[in-house]
Structure 1
Amino acid sequence: MCYPNSEKSSDRSKYITRLFVILIVLFVGGLVYYLFSPEESGFFPRCPFHTLTGFECPGCGSQRAIHHLVHFDLHKAFTSNPLLIISIPYILVCLWLEYFGGKQKYPKIRKALYGKSAIYAVLIIIIAFWIGRNLI
């Protein structure tokens, strides 16, 4: 026998579970980055690309940027890794689309953010940032 409300209840349960897990991960991660500075603490991993080449990869400075963000220092966060800070809205929308039912409600937005042209645009932006940050 099919219960019409069981699907909605199941979806709601999945939504709440996902939200809870994401909030716990963000809280614990935020607490670690709030309490410890990646510049001073030894347990944060170093970038292998930077260690081997001396050049910065697109992700270099992300840990410092997150540390500064949880301390509400947007200027230092931006100077640590501007690409990460600029990418936060894109990342949040992608997470919402993927994990909170947005992909069913807004397939055009999902296609715009995940489509072939979006992938190429993101790739070009990352490569341009990678080259630019090492030239300047």
Structure 2
Amino acid sequence: MPGVNADSRRATHSLPGRLAAPAGTLAAVAAAFAYVGAVDPNEPGHYPVCPLLHYTGLYCPGCGGLRSAHAFVHGDLTAALHANALAVLGYLAFFALWTVWVVHAVRGRPLRIDPRPGLVWSFGALLLVFTVVRNLPFGGWLHP
């Protein structure tokens, strides 16, 4: 439409239209959690083995993530934290970000995520430290 910028077109969409993307994302994540909640990753043969753990014996930052999600779905927060504490923080961060996304959609404002380089590097450093510590002898409490 000539003379109308993208932001004003976006703001005129109906509320259901603005909530379609957050609702679809939540449905996909809920379906994944439902599957992991129903199919126990502690039972052999349901999920592939982590190649890093299989070939080196080292835990990657994602090791235990499925067991963590399974325990989280079943309400066992202690087991979820023990399986992969960083994954539990990721679940909570997703929920917080999704909530902000929905609030923005209801208000008709697009959500723009533009993390500063320092935040991206900090997240990478957190993953690295988590990975190193969980593979050291004193980091046994972080093993899945």
Query: TM-score, normalization: structure 1?
Result: 0.76
Shift of 1:35: 1.2
Residues in 2 aligned to 1:129 and 1:69: alpha-carbon distance in whole angstroms: 20
1:62 correspondence with 2:38: no
Matched residue pairs, number? Answer: 130
1:40-51 residue pairs with structure 2 within 5 A?
40-51=43-54
Shift of 1:105: 7.0
Shift of 1:66: 0.1
Partner of 2:39: 36
Partner of 2:135: 134
Shift of 1:93: 3.9
Shift of 1:53: 0.7
Partner of 2:56: 53
Residue pair 2:39, 2:46 contacting (<8 A) in 1 also: no
Residues in 1 aligned to 2:49 and 2:55: alpha-carbon distance in whole angstroms: 11
1:1-136 residue pairs with structure 2 within 5 A?
7-10=10-13, 12-95=15-98, 101=104, 110-111=113-114, 114-135=115-136, 136=139
Q: Which has the higher helix share?
A: 1
In structure 1, the gaps of 5 or more residues are none
Superposed CA RMSD:
3.1
In structure 2, the gaps of 5 or more residues are 140-144
Give per-residue Cα distances to partners, 1:98-126, cap 9 Å, x unaligned.
Answer: 78748x6787xx45xx1111011111111
Query: TM-score, normalization: structure 2?
Result: 0.73
Task: State the SS of the aligned residue for 2:47.
Answer: coil
Residues in 2 aligned to 1:65 and 1:59: alpha-carbon distance in whole angstroms: 10
